[in-house]
Amino acid sequence: MRGAVFLDRDGTLIVERDFLTDPEGLCLLPGAGEAVARLNAAGWAVVVVTNQSGIARGLLDERTLSEIHERLHADLAAHEARLDGVYHCPHHPEHGLPPLRADCSCRKPLPGLLELAARELGLDCERSWCVGDAERDLLAGEALGARSILVATGKGAAEATRMTAAGRPPERTAADLPAAVDAILAAAQASGSGCS
């Protein structure tokens, strides 16, 4: 079983939008494609786990989200990078109609999406990492038993300030996804464990 790097999507891998509802609006953050390619080359599984309450809110449907993710795969492929999986939560506890209006186990900060990916892809959670721009990303990773990194892109810088003021500063931070990948690869090299 190999380790994975679970990536949040908006603000971590791609430019943050309020709600991305059009594939044409997708834009990789600087260096993100190359960072994913480095993880691929080092043997890590790279998995996107993303809350997409825009579906519950009626802002987009599953077909449009699929088209957005097709664009994401294509943009990453232009950097010789690939994802091993993309998992999303369409629910929201307060918006939309059942069954999309729901308290679910797949909406971060709960780890349901990560657990599903780990089962389906045969991943070693204890060797894995979770990278995101929100505290909920870190909490989901920690609930899985993975290590987490908060990136300063997207809403990450504001989240770090808020978490620190609340007395729970993030354990690990990085300027962006490329810096987070530097830290992950350095930690793997130092431990001699790699991703498998």
Residues serving a catalytic function are 8, 10
In this structure, is the dihedral angle defined by the CA atoms of residues 162, 15, 49 and 88, taken in order, positive or negative?
positive
CB within 8 A of 188, min separation 6: which ones? 3, 42, 194, 195
Query: DSSP secondary-structure letter at 10?
Result: B
Q: Is the Cβ–Cβ distance between 175 and 36 less than 8 Å?
A: no
Q: Is the Cβ–Cβ distance between 56 and 93 less than 8 Å?
A: no
Specify burial of residue 171 (Cβ count, 10 A radius: 0-12, 13-18, 19+).
exposed
Q: Is the Cβ–Cβ distance between 121 and 86 less than 8 Å?
A: no
Strand order in the sheet with 4-7: 85-89, 45-51, 4-7, 129-132, 147-151, 173-174
